[in-house]
Amino acid sequence: MNRWAGDPRSRGPLTPLAAGAALSAVIALIVALADACVPGSGGSAAKPPPRPSARVSARASAPGSPAPQPSPAGTSGPVSPPGYSPVEPVLDQYFADPAVIKAAGTYFAYGTNNADAAMPVATAPSPTGPWTRAPGDGLARLPAWATTGRTWAPEVVPPQGPSKTYVLYFSARRKDGDAQCIGAATATSPAGPFVPLDGEPLVCPMDLGGAIDPASYIEPDGTRYLLYKSDARKTAAIYLVRLTPDGLGLYGEPKRILARGSEPALVEAPDLVKRGGEYVLLYSAGWYFRPDYQTRYAVAPSIEGPYEKAGRPLQSTGGYGGKVEGPGSADVLSDDTGDHLVFHGILKHLGGANVNRGMYVTPLGWDGARPVIRGTAVRHEAEDGRLNGCVSVLARPNASGGKAAGPFDRDGCRLEVPVFAPAAGRYSVRAQYANRSGQESDLELSVNGTAATRLRLRVTKDADWTSTSAEVELAAGWNTLGLRRVNGQGQLDYLELL
């Protein structure tokens, strides 16, 4: 996550701009007025959206079993601005390691240091934008123990309970060496300027090479935790430590909760949420400047683990079909519109480890404790769907998973495939198929029992597989895609939802 790419600020002192302070004063007034206008708010943070209460299997149901019940996937969000796409940056300038909160109806994003600010800030009227860089610097100054150039991966926590204080956690380089540590700062406005705490760093395990990538987690009862990455290259891991009630001090001993396994290079950039009754730990793996940088996740019944890693990345360059390169440093934004995943991707390679990374936002849904996002292709094997009499599982060595479903050679042949949509909207369904009958065939594609369109299966040769696509409207949560023979015959390998 938070890797610096040649910050010119390292050549001079930090100087907060007057414009930033003026903006903070205006925003503070807006926040205060908004709190005063909410009946019974007492100035406290907005109530989070409801959480799923049960975990639903990610796989399709067995043949003949009832369709899975819909899983909550958030409510309908605000209308996206013209031109928004989950595979296009909402900030196409340097804005790495983004974290986003909502205050008084405005969204605030915070990023790793750039040429203009130790902590750049951007604002928007909705999660998907349009986003605008705010003037000035969100961080008033660095603490006495830190020096410029590596102020990475900020995390801002809105006021909790009766408090009016915003808390910032950030990584910074120590003056007395090359290691980085985690500091804390406070402000009365989400725009800052945040003033760092004096004294020693909040977290600084020098025996582990220092610490970076702070992330906050707060239990429903108010218990606070901080997650971070130990920074020594060979032993990099993700740690969890309990904080004092104000979030500004350590309350217990750190516990290592996740280490590298089969992931590329290392694990970093944690973000913790609770969904489907379980703790879901999102994290990045790999080197931030390489295309194989990716977002993964692990699930646990307890906050301290053990965490079971998912088999596949949630985000990867391949998963996006190359449209987003090196997606990572993911942060979950939750509000009354549902959940969004905020992350960065590589916009441009500048040589060596230097890359320009922009900010992306995508709708995020939950199948129990399994995160599902828009923009990446999700594959559903046809043979895992519900098959009726004349559609059966066929052994096909050249197919995905070595199996397919078919042959759809008689009237009444039908296949149903449950699919999960993270948000309501229009999706593309890509069907991988083979048709060796010598003539073109047609399948009716239905959504939740209503005919939507037809898929034309053109003739294929020998062991060839090819694909065709159609657009459908899906509801948030579980949907059923039905495929019924109209004429001819064919075999289906899989459906991909994008």
In order along its 498 residues, the chain shows pLDDT tens digits of 443 333 333 333 333 334 445 555 555 544 444 444 433 333 333 333 333 333 333 323 333 333 333 333 343 445 678 889 999 999 999 999 999 999 989 999 999 999 899 999 999 999 999 999 999 999 999 999 999 999 999 999 999 989 999 999 999 999 998 899 999 999 999 999 999 998 999 999 999 999 999 999 999 999 999 999 999 988 999 999 999 999 999 999 999 999 999 999 999 999 999 999 999 999 999 999 999 999 999 999 999 999 999 999 999 999 999 999 999 999 999 998 899 999 999 999 999 999 999 999 999 999 999 999 999 999 999 999 999 878 999 999 999 999 999 999 999 899 999 999 999 999 999 999 999 999 999 999 999 999 999 999 999 998 899 999 999 999 999 999 999 999 999 999 999 999
Same domain membership, residue 409 and residue 371: no
Same domain membership, residue 361 and residue 484: no
Structural domain contains residue 333:
yes
* Rg of the chain on CA atoms, in Å: 24
Structure confidence at residue 306 (pLDDT)? 98
Structure confidence at residue 4 (pLDDT)? 36
Same domain membership, residue 474 and residue 415: yes
The torsion angles phi and psi of 238, rounded to 5 degrees, stand at -105, 130
C-alpha to C-alpha distance for 137 and 119, rounded to whole angstroms: 6
CATH of the domain at 343: 2.115.10.20
Q: Where is the domain boundary, 375, 401, 424? A: 375
What's the domain count of the chain? 2
Structure confidence at residue 140 (pLDDT)? 96
Q: Strand order of the sheet with strand 450-457?
A: 386-387, 414-421, 477-487, 441-447, 450-457
Same domain membership, residue 228 and residue 165: yes
H or E element that contains 335: strand 325-335
Structural domain contains residue 197:
yes
Q: How many CB atoms lie within 10 A of CB 220?
A: 8
Same domain membership, residue 238 and residue 214: yes
Same domain membership, residue 264 and residue 335: yes
CATH of the domain at 441: 2.60.120.260
Q: Which two tokens stand for residue 355?
A: 């890359």
Same domain membership, residue 338 and residue 443: no
C-alpha to C-alpha distance for 25 and 242, rounded to whole angstroms: 32
Structure confidence at residue 154 (pLDDT)? 98
Alpha carbon 496 to chain centroid, angstroms: 20
The torsion angles phi and psi of 170, rounded to 5 degrees, stand at -150, 160
Q: Where is the domain boundary, 315, 340, 375? A: 375
Structure confidence at residue 22 (pLDDT)? 52
Nearest to 375 by CA among 336, 455, 321, 440: 321
Structure confidence at residue 347 (pLDDT)? 98
Same domain membership, residue 468 and residue 327: no
Q: Which domain holds residue 489?
A: 379-497
Same domain membership, residue 253 and residue 222: yes
CA distances in angstroms from 358 to 87, 91, 475, listed in the order given? 11, 6, 30
Q: What pairs with residue 341 in β-bridges?
A: 332, 362
Same domain membership, residue 272 and residue 297: yes
Q: To which residue do tokens 């015959």 refer?
A: 489
Give the CA-trace dihedral at 26, 32, 35, 41, to 10 degrees: 150
Q: Where is the domain boundary, 344, 375, 406? A: 375
